Amino acid sequence: MSTAASDHVTVNRLGDTFVVGEDPGAAAGLVVLPVKGGTFVVDPINPRGPGQLRLQGPFDLELVETLFGTAVAAAVDVRLDPPERAVVAMAQSHERRILGRLGALRWLQRASPLALDDRLLRVEGLLLEASIADVLDVDEGSESLHDWAPSLVAWAHRCVSPDLREPVSPEFLDLVADGLAEDSAGSPWSPESADHSGQDAEARAELAAYLRAGLARARADAPDAPGLPCAPIDALRPQTRAATTSSRNGQLHGSATVDWARVPRGLTLQIEDGASWRVDTTPGNAHVSVVVTAPTADPTLRLLDVAGQPGRSGVTPALQATLTHPEWMLPLAVVELTLRPETDCWLGVEALGPAVLELIADLDPTAFHMDLHVPGAGRRPRNGAAASIDQATRWAVRGVASVRLAAAYRAESRAEIHRGACDAFALAGSLFKASADPRDQLAAEQCRAAVRLLGRPHAHSHGPEVIDPEPELTVAERWYAAHLAAAH
C-alpha cells in the first residue's frame, strides 16, 4: 500500500466506518481518544503525525474539517456512498496537534518505563482536554481540573516562597499558572456561593498572573544529559544478560521481567529481567526468595505533596511473585513482596514444604518462570510467540522513552541516549520480524525506519516521519530529566 506524503492523508471507507489516515505501526502500542462521533488514534512513536480518525454512523463533517481541513472533509462527504480510497491534501490543525500531545501523555501514563510523576501528567492532561473540549467526547463525572484546585494553589504558593530550596522549571510554572487560570475561568457557580466562589476564582486568577510575571526570570537553559553509567538510562537499552534460569549447587537461580499488563506503572523499575529469584533446597531451610527493583524516590517531588489529592487512596501497594512451570498447571509457590524504600527493592521469602521440593526436583530446572503481578491479577503469563511480541513491544516502548528523554537535554549531549534508542528499536524490530502476523511485520518496519532516522539525524526525509526526534515533552518528563541531570 502506498504511503501518503507528509502533507497528505488517506481517506477510505470500510463498511460503515470512515477512516482518515493510514493504519499506524503500533510497535509501542496505540492510544485511542474518544472524539465526537468517533475515535482518534495516536501513535506514540510519532504523535505529531496525522494520526487516524475513525467515524461511525451519523457524524458531523465539521469535526473532519477542524482536524484535517476542508479538502479532507469534502473527500469524506463524497465517499458517503462509494467505498473508494483517496489521498488528499490536509491542512494544519491546532486541535489535531493537541490530540497528538494528549495521546502521547496518556501513553506515558500507561506505559512509560521512567518514574514520571502521575500528578503532573494528570494535571497537564486535564489542561489539554480543556483546550479542545469541543472536539473530545469526555464522560460526565470524570476527573476535572477543579478537583486539583487546592493542589494548584499550594504549588503556586510554594513556588513563590523565599524558602523554596529546589528550583522549579518554567514549564512547571506555566502548568500551574495555566491550571489556575483555567480553573478560575471555569469554576462552578451557584447562587448560594456566588460571592465566595467569585472571590476564590479572582484570587486564583491573580495568583496565576503573579506566576506568569515571574516566568521571565525563571527561564533556564536545558541541562546536559547525564553521562553513563546512569541506571535509569542504561535500563532503556539492551544489555548482555545471563540465562534467565540456571541450577547449581542444589539451588535454582533465575531472573524475571515484570508483566507490564498486570503491574501498575511506577510500582517497579520496568527494566528487562529486573527481578531475581532463588530456590534454596537446603534441608530444614527450604525457601524461595525474590528481589524486584523499585524506582528510586525523587526527593524534589515532595514539593507536590498536598493532603487530599485526587486518586491518592493511601492504600499500601502490594506485589506478588508466583513460581510456575509449564509441566505443572498449579503455582508452585506464591511469595508476598514488601517494598523496602531504604533499598529501593521489593523483597519476599516463602518457605517450601517437602512435597513442593520433591515436585521441583522432578521438573526441568531450565523451564521455571517467576510471574510478577499485583494480587488478584487474572490470567497466566503469556509464553511462546506471544511472549516474544510482548518483549518486542517493551523494547519499542523503551526506544520511544529514550528519544523523548533525550529531547529534554542539550542537542550536543543526546548522542549516547539516541544510540541506546537505536539498539532498543533494532532489538524490537528483530523480535517483531520473527512473527508472521502482518501487524507485527508493520511494527518491525516501523522500528527499522526509526533506527535509520535516528542513525542519520541530518538526513533529509521525503515522506512522513516515522518517529518524532524532537517531541513536545510533558512537564513530568522535563522534571524527571532535570532530576537525573542534577543527581549525576
What one-character-per-residue DSSP string does 373-407 give? E-TT--SPPP-HHHHHHHHHHHHHHHHHHHHHHHT
Residue 202 has pLDDT above 60, yes or no: yes
CA distance 390 to 402: 18
- For the chain, give the percent of residues with pLDDT over 70: 87
Contact 66, 38 (CB under 8 A): no
3-state secondary structure of 337: strand
Integer Cα distance of 60 and 56 in angstroms = 10
Q: Are residues 267 and 376 in the same domain?
A: yes
Domain boundary among 366, 381, 396: 381
Pick from 102-106, 110-114, 484-488: least confident: 484-488
To 10 degrees, the CA torsion angle through 161, 164, 166, 168?
Answer: 0
10, β-bridge pairs: 87
Whether residue 459 is found in the same domain as residue 398: yes
Is pLDDT of 200 > 80? no
| Residue 223 resides in a domain | no
Is residue 150 situated within a structural domain? yes
Domains in the chain, number:
4
Our CA angle for 83, 84, 90, nearest 5°, is 120
The letter for the amino acid at 424 is: A
Determine the pLDDT at residue 431.
97
Going by pLDDT thresholds of 50, 70 and 90, the confidence category of residue 184 is confident
43 and 127 in a single domain? The answer is no
**10-27 core/surface letters (b: 16 or more CB in 10 A; e: else):** bbbbeeeebbbbbebbbb
Three-state secondary structure call for residue 5: coil
Residue 379 confidence class, pLDDT cut points 50, 70, 90? low
In the structure, what pLDDT confidence band is assigned to residue 439 with cuts at 50, 70 and 90?
very high
Asked if residue 312 and residue 207 are part of one domain, the reply reads no
pLDDT digits (tens, 9 = 90+) for 110-161: 999 999 999 999 999 999 999 999 999 988 767 889 999 999 999 998 888 7
Establish if 1 belongs to a structural domain: no
pLDDT at 220 (0 to 100) = 63
Does residue 238 lie within any of the structural domains? no
Query: Is residue 283 predicted with pLDDT exceeding 90?
Result: no
Mean pLDDT value of segment 353-363: 93
Tens-place pLDDT, residues 391-405: 999 999 999 999 999
Which pLDDT score, from 0 to 100, does residue 114 have?
Answer: 94
Provide the residue range defining the domain that includes 348: 249-381
- Does 121 lie in the same domain as 140? yes
User: What's this model's pTM, rounded to 2 decimal places?
Assistant: 0.90
Asked if the peptide bond before residue 229 counts as cis, ω within 30 degrees of 0, the response is: yes
pLDDT attached to residue 79: 63
Of residues 210 and 276, more confidence is placed in 276
Indicate if the pLDDT at residue 462 is higher than 70: no
The verdict on 419 and 462 lying in the same domain is yes
Query: How many angstroms separate the CA atoms of 394 and 377, rounded?
Result: 20
Shared domain check, 117 and 83 = no
Claim to verify: residue 467 and residue 427 sit in the same structural domain:
yes
Mean pLDDT of the chain: 87
Residue 235 lies in a domain: no
- Gap between the Cα atoms of 36 and 1, Å rounded: 29
What's the pLDDT at 58?
Answer: 72
In this prediction, residues 236-246 reach a mean pLDDT of 72
* pLDDT at residue 407, as a whole number: 96
Is residue 260 domain-shared with residue 376, that is, in the same domain?
Answer: yes
Confidence band for 313, pLDDT divided at 50, 70 and 90: low
**Dihedrals φ, ψ of 295, to 5°?**
-65, 145
Q: Is residue 100 part of a domain?
A: yes
225 in a structural domain: no
In this structure, what are the phi and psi dihedrals at residue 307, rounded to the nearest 5 degrees?
A: -60, 140
Q: What are phi and psi of 279, to 5 degrees?
A: -110, 115
Last residue of a domain, one of 381, 416, 450: 381
User: What average pLDDT does range 434-443 have in this prediction?
Assistant: 95
- Whether pLDDT at 317 is above 90: no
Asked if the structure places residue 364 within a domain, the reply is yes
Same-domain check for residues 347 and 412: no
Q: Are residues 266 and 371 in the same domain?
A: yes
The number of residues making up the chain comes to 488
Q: What is the CA radius of gyration of the chain?
A: 25
Is residue 349 predicted with pLDDT exceeding 90? yes
Looking at 349, 381, 413, the residue that finishes a domain is 381
Residue 193 binned pLDDT confidence (cut-offs 50, 70, 90): very low
**What per-residue confidence (pLDDT) applies to 1?**
41
| Residue 225 and residue 416 in contact, taking contact as beta carbons nearer than 8 Å | yes
Is the pLDDT score of 194 beyond 60?
A: no
CB count in 10 Å sphere of residue 426: 18
* Residue recorded with cell 532463588: 278
Q: Are residues 271 and 348 in the same domain?
A: yes
